[in-house]
Amino acid sequence: MRNPLSKTIVEIQPSGIRKFFDIANEMEDIVSLGVGEPDFDTPWFVREEGIYSLEQGKTFYTSNAGLLELRKEIASYLYRRQKLTYDPKKEIVITVGGSEAIDIALRAMIDPGDEVIIPEPCFVSYAPCAKLAGATVVPLQLKEENAFKLKKEELLDCITDKTKILMISYPNNPTGAIMTREDLEPIAEVARERDLIVISDEIYSELSYRGDHVSIASLEGMQERTIIINGFSKAYAMTGWRLGYLVGPAFIVEQMLKIHQFAIMAAPTTSQYAAVLAMRDGDEEVAKMRESYNQRRRFLLREFERLQIPCFEPEGAFYIFPCIKKFGMTSEEFATKLLYQEKVAVVPGSAFGDSGEGFLRVSYAYSIEELKVALGRIEKFLETL
Amino acid sequence: MREEILRLLERNGRIDLCDAAKMLGMTEVDLANEIAQMEKEQIICGYTTLINWDKTSTEKVTALIEVKVTPQRGRGFSQFAEKICQYPEVESMYLLSGNYDFVVILQGKTMREVARFVSDKLAVVDSVLSTSTLFVLKKYKDHGSILESKPKAERRRITL
């Protein structure tokens, strides 16, 4: 039989630490701080709206771009929060999670050989999706001393004649870092001067604890060169509903919609009806969850300080990113030992790129009680080192 | 910050002070002082335990009694309210809008005891025009907590 496989896909290595994840998912009595999804249930009024839509028999495809009603809500949300104006008819596509949005955004803009700058550590799908689209991935190593913010000089160092896209994600998974307006200005300046397109994954935008999130698209001259990716998973605790969206200039979004139309058809109808209500009436529930996350964030930071594990102060998402370099182990060694010895699952920072080496991603999408049990075990583990 | 402390305590009155201080980003001493101050100002009026008595052998009857009264000259509804609130079996009492003026929530051992309270103590007050007693058959949710909550759906242990 001939080799049925695509060279491009075979060349993309499955994550080296997948074995670690398999063990963690199968072991008994594990206390996990390893998830990237909220522990809250989707607010009841949102679930109820999904159920109601089913009762009414709303079980058909929506238009390819998604329910217009939902796109209008998203436009009004972006205006409310970022003073950004988008045309719901031409500049917004509802996707199957932020993940699909990442994929189609890259595919619609990349020709073979185009370079995409991806600051790391970052979410795991950016580089593989860029490669599948034919891009050359240029990783940029973010530094803890900069609180994992992207700096102008670092960006300039990575730019070549072939650079087309900069992929950023703040508030960041896995570091919890954020970028303020002042932090974003110099980056926007480079993007404008060097004619870069920015894909800004803002899936954690509602989880920012020191002032509101600022989208790079809201900076001068940036809306025309920015694709914003966002979704319902993190803010509204709707991971399982698989619903996200992207917004951007009409002539780019039009091409993205083509891929979406042929590959996906349309995002799940039930999820879209539920999401309309989430966007319309969800602010209060989001604020409640944000307050809880923030309390856990403060709690964990104080506890890691007590355990003398250095950790910069993350200001967004629901992760802290402590540094374990002083223990003389790699992230994966540390995480594996912690898993076997004390049955606590955390994610090695190296899962998110080379610059994540020496760090752990600790999620606080858990109740204080759960965090305390895990911390007790971690404390015991540290005594054995 | 006061509001955040209150929201935290409202959900869990028994929260460990040390944990709460860490969650709020304050020192334990500051938090204790703030709580003491709010107790003094009667913003925090007490701490209770939410109990599902149905799961014990103790017989408890809860009744909601709607009461219509004639307001007293110069004192409005307060005189009546202050008087009724004195009875220990009255768990809560609210002034309402609508057809009735008050609802009195009563905890008694038996239906007869509740009935006796209504006929002997409540209905005989001069200003009371009429009452209507509703017995609680089952409590599903109390003080924001579902009494028989279902176990949470499981998440995967690691997701990126």
Q: Is residue A221 part of a domain?
A: yes
Average pLDDT over chain A, rounded to an integer: 96
Chunk chain B into consecutive blocks of 10 residues (it has 160) and report each block's average pLDDT, rounded to whole numbers: 96 95 97 98 95 91 95 84 94 95 95 94 93 95 89 87
pLDDT, average across residues A46-55: 98
Q: Are residues A140 and A179 in the same domain?
A: yes
Can you tell me the ipTM of this complex?
Answer: 0.88
Order of strands across the sheet with B128-135?
Answer: B90-95, B102-108, B61-69, B128-135
The count of structural domains within chain A is 2
Q: Is residue A143 part of a domain?
A: yes
Q: Are residues A75 and A178 in the same domain?
A: yes
Q: Is residue A50 part of a domain?
A: yes
Contact B158 A123 (CB under 8 A): no
pLDDT, average across residues A301-323: 97
Give A-chain residues touching B153 at CB under 8 angstroms: 41
Percent of chain A at pLDDT exceeding 90:
95
Q: Which of A41, A173, A299 sits opposite B22 (nearest CB)?
A: A299
Distance from CA of A1 to the nearest CA of B (A): 36
Give B-chain residues touching A36 at CB under 8 angstroms: 159-160
The verdict on B24 touching A (C-beta cutoff 8 Å) is yes
Instruction: Give me A327's structure tokens.
Output: 């223990």
Q: State the SS3 of chain A.
A: CCCCCCHHHHHCCCCCCHHHHHHHHHCCCCEECECCCCCCCCCHHHHHHHHHHHHCCCCCCCCCCCCHHHHHHHHHHHHHHHCCCCCCCCCEEEECHHHHHHHHHHHHHCCCCCEEEEEECCCCCHHHHHHHCCCEEEEEECCHHHCCCCCHHHHHHHCCCCEEEEEECCCCCCCCCCCCHHHHHHHHHHHHHCCCEEEEECCCCCCECCCCCCCHHHCCCCHHHEEEEEECCCCCCCHHHCCEEEECCHHHHHHHHHHHHHHCCCCCHHHHHHHHHHHHHCHHHHHHHHHHHHHHHHHHHHHHHHCCCCCCCCCECCEECCECHHHCCCHHHHHHHHHHHHCEECEEHHHHCHHHCCEEEEECCCCHHHHHHHHHHHHHHHHCC
Q: Which of B4, B7, B158 sits opposite A35 (nearest CB)?
A: B158
Distance from CA of B51 to the nearest CA of A (A): 21
Q: A15 pLDDT exceeds 80?
A: no
Strand partners, B130: B68
CB A243 within 8 A of CB A96: yes
Strand partners, B142: B145
Range of the domain at A35: 7-42+284-383
The verdict on A347 touching B (C-beta cutoff 8 Å) is yes
pLDDT of residue B24: 97
Q: Are residues A269 and A373 in the same domain?
A: no
Q: Is residue A370 part of a domain?
A: yes
Give A-chain residues touching B23 at CB under 8 angstroms: 295-296, 298-299, 368
Q: Is residue A234 part of a domain?
A: yes
Q: Are residues A170 and A38 in the same domain?
A: no
A interface mutation test: which of B5, B15, B140, B160 has the most A CBs within 10 A? Answer: B160
pLDDT of residue A293: 98
Q: Are residues A170 and A289 in the same domain?
A: no
Q: Are residues A221 and A153 in the same domain?
A: yes
Pick from A22-31, A312-321, A332-341, B116-125: least confident: A22-31
Q: A14 pLDDT exceeds 80?
A: no
The verdict on A124 touching B (C-beta cutoff 8 Å) is yes
Mark which of A281, A313, A330 sits at the end of a domain: A281
Mark which of A264, A281, A298 sits at the end of a domain: A281
Q: Is residue A1 part of a domain?
A: no
pLDDT, average across residues A15-24: 80
Q: How far is residue A203's CA from residue A205's CA, in Å, rounded to a whole number?
A: 6
Q: Are residues A35 and A74 in the same domain?
A: no
Contact A368 B155 (CB under 8 A): no
The verdict on B22 touching A (C-beta cutoff 8 Å) is yes
Q: Are residues A34 and A67 in the same domain?
A: no
Q: Are residues A100 and A229 in the same domain?
A: yes
Q: Are residues A299 and A363 in the same domain?
A: yes
- Return the CATH number at A277: 3.40.640.10
Q: Is residue A58 part of a domain?
A: yes
Q: Is residue A326 part of a domain?
A: yes
Q: A341 pLDDT exceeds 70?
A: yes
pLDDT tier at A251, thresholds 50, 70, 90: very high
Note the pTM of the prediction, 2 decimals.
Answer: 0.94
Mark which of A281, A300, A315 sits at the end of a domain: A281
pLDDT of residue A166: 98
pLDDT of residue A298: 97
Q: A16 pLDDT exceeds 80?
A: no
Q: Are residues A220 and A299 in the same domain?
A: no
Q: Are residues A201 and A341 in the same domain?
A: no
- Return the CATH number at A24: 3.90.1150.10
Percent of chain A at pLDDT exceeding 70:
99
The verdict on A302 touching B (C-beta cutoff 8 Å) is yes
pLDDT digits (tens, 9 = 90+) for A76-108: 999 999 999 999 999 999 999 999 999 999 999
